């Protein structure tokens, strides 16, 4: 199989495919994103817990947003790489989503963001996702 490095290559692979049922999962994903963001904010505000937990909860919320955005376009994924490439192709390249949000998502995944930056990025990501999805 060829190296998967573009949205089109993802579509040609088994890791990204059309799914007419995908949009029906958006409400659940947005609810989970909201829960994770709220938990991250609470931990950050109270100063309780491990700072890595704040970053990880922020990452989980942003992951749900990525999925919701891609699912809204009628696609499902079986891999993070194709999820990122799909979001880039469908939203970043069209000017609807700032590429910096995807970069910071990847940093959060590796726990390379400070807790305050993770919460701020996550909040921005969730807000933008809701705007894009008309929520």
H helices of the chain, in order, are 7-12, 26-46, 51-72, 80-87, 99-109, 115-132
Q: Which helix (H) or strand (E) holds 16?
A: strand 16-18
Residue 66: how many CB atoms within 10 A of its CB?
A: 24
% the chain with pLDDT above 90 = 91
**Tokens at 121, concatenated:** 């990025």
> Tell me: the pLDDT tens digits for 63-82?
999 999 999 999 999 999 99
Note the pLDDT of residue 49.
Answer: 83
Cα–Cα distance measured from residue 31 to residue 34, given in angstroms and rounded to the nearest whole number:
5
Q: Indicate if the pLDDT at residue 52 is higher than 90.
A: yes
CATH class name, domain 20-132: mainly alpha
Q: Delimit the domains of the chain by residue range.
A: 20-132
């Amino acid at each position: 199989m060829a190296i998967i490095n573009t949205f089109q290559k993802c579509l040609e692979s088994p890791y990204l495919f059309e799914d007419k049922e995908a949009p029906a999962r958006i409400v659940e994903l947005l609810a989970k994103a909201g829960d994770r963001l709220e938990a991250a904010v609470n931990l950050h505000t109270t100063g309780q817990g491990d700072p890595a937990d704040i970053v990880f909860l922020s990452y989980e919320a942003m992951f749900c947003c990525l999925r919701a955005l891609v699912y809204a376009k009628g696609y499902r994924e079986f891999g993070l790489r194709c999820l990122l490439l799909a979001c880039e192709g469908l939203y970043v390249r069209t000017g609807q989503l700032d590429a910096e949000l995807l970069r910071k998502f990847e940093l959060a995944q590796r726990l390379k963001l400070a807790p305050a930056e993770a919460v701020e990025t996550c909040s921005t990501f969730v807000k933008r996702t809701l705007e894009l999805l008309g929520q």
